[in-house]
Amino acid sequence: MSVPVNQAMVDTIAGDDHWDSATITYAIDLEGQGAKNQSDFGAPAFHSISSADQLAFEQVARLWDELIAASIVEVTNSNANITVGAPTCSVAAL
């Protein structure tokens, strides 16, 4: 069974895109507004994540913050480097 490949996602992961800032920011999408760049990967829409998923992401962010040189900081505005949400479609459809 073959899995569909989203070439834009592959190109981004394989490319040399990276943060060169000392701080990486993230925002939890509490209002279901979706990722600000969702069209980059062709995702139709996002919705907010559950409370349990939010706690899990925050724990992972804290762990990564301890492991990497850059600081990972939660912000509440739409200017975050990462917007955390859940796709309304299956991941395989991306």
- Contact present, 36 and 83 (Cβ < 8 Å): yes
The pLDDT-based confidence of 58 (bands split at 50, 70, 90) is very high
The pLDDT-based confidence of 93 (bands split at 50, 70, 90) is very low
**Mean pLDDT, range 19-32, rounded to an integer:** 80
Q: What is the pLDDT of residue 63?
A: 92
Q: Does residue 94 register a pLDDT over 50?
A: no
**Mean pLDDT, range 11-40, rounded to an integer:** 68
HEC profile of 3-59:
CCCCHHHHHHHHCCCCCCCCEEEEEECCCCCCCCCHHHHCCCCEECCCHHHHHHHHH
